[in-house]
Amino acid sequence: MGNQDEKTTSKVANSILIETAARKRERKQLLIISLVCIFLFFGIWEIAVRLNWIDGKYLCAPSAVIKTFMTKLSDPKPDGAVLGIHIITSLKLVLIGYIAAIIIGVPLGLLMGYYHTFDKLVSPIFEIIRPIPPIAWIPLSIIWLGVGTAAKCFIIFLAAFVPCVINSYTGVKLTPPVLVNVAKTCGATRWEIFSTVCVHYAMPLTFTGIQVSLGNAWSTLVASELVSATAGLGYMIQQGRSLVRPDIILVGMLTIGILGAIFTTLLSKLENKVVKWRAKS
Amino acid sequence: MASKDIKVQVNHLTKKFGDLLVLDDISFNINKGEFVCIVGPTGCGKTTFLNLLTRLIEPTSGEILIDGKPADPHVHNISFVFQEPSAFPWLTAQQNIEYGLKIKKKSSEEIKSQVDKIIGLLGLEKFRNAYPHEMSVSMEQRVVIGRAFALNPDLLLMDEPYGQMDIKMRYYLEDEVIRLWKATGSTVLFITHNLEEAVYLAERVLILSNKPAKIKAEKKVDLPRPRSVSDDKFVEIRKDITDMIKWW
Give the pLDDT confidence score for residue B1 in this predicted structure.
44
Set of chain B residues whose Cβ sits within 8 Å of the Cβ of A182: 80, 82, 86, 88, 99
Give this prediction's pTM: 0.81
Kindly state the percentage of chain B with pLDDT values over 90: 25
Give the pLDDT confidence score for residue A8 in this predicted structure.
65
B2 pLDDT more than 60: no
Give the pLDDT confidence score for residue A280 in this predicted structure.
61
| B window 127-166, beta carbon within 8 A of A | 131-133, 151
Hey, are the CB atoms on B82 and A178 less than 8 Å from each other?
Answer: yes
The strands making up B215-220's β-sheet, listed across from edge to edge, are: B78-81, B155-159, B188-192, B35-39, B204-208, B215-220
Interface check A192 vs B, CB under 8 A: yes
Give the pLDDT confidence score for residue B246 in this predicted structure.
74
- Tens of pLDDT, residue by residue over B106-156, are 999 999 999 999 998 888 888 999 999 988 888 898 899 999 989 888 889
Average pLDDT, integer, range A26-55: 91
**Alpha carbon of A63 to those of A53, A67, A172, B90, B238: distances in Å?**
16, 6, 50, 49, 85
CA dihedral A22, A28, A34, A35 (to 10 degrees): -160
Other Cβ atoms closer than 10 A to B106: 18
B40 pLDDT more than 90: no
Average pLDDT, integer, range A207-217: 94
A2 pLDDT more than 70: no
Cα distance between residue A89 and residue A234, in whole Å: 10
Hey, are the CB atoms on A200 and B78 less than 8 Å from each other?
Answer: no
Average pLDDT, integer, range B39-56: 81
- Tens of pLDDT, residue by residue over B163-175, are 777 888 888 889 9
Cα distance between residue B135 and residue A247, in whole Å: 55
DSSP-derived secondary structure for A128-185 = HHTTS-GGGGHHHHHHHHTTSHHHHHHHHHHHHHHHHHHHHHHHHHTS-HHHHHHHHH
- Residue count of chain A: 281
Mean pLDDT across chain B, nearest whole number? 87
Give the pLDDT confidence score for residue A177 in this predicted structure.
92
Hey, are the CB atoms on B133 and A278 less than 8 Å from each other?
Answer: yes
Average pLDDT, integer, range A261-269: 92
CB-CB contact of A183 with B103 (8 Å): yes
Which of A158, A143, A144 lies closest to A104 in space, CA to CA? Answer: A158
The domains located in chain B, with CATH, are 1-76+187-248 (3.40.50.300)
Kindly state the percentage of chain B with pLDDT values over 70: 98
Q: Which residues contact A279 (CB under 8 A, 6 or more apart)?
A: B133
A81 pLDDT more than 50: yes
A&B contacts, CB < 8 Å: 61
Average pLDDT, integer, range A25-34: 92
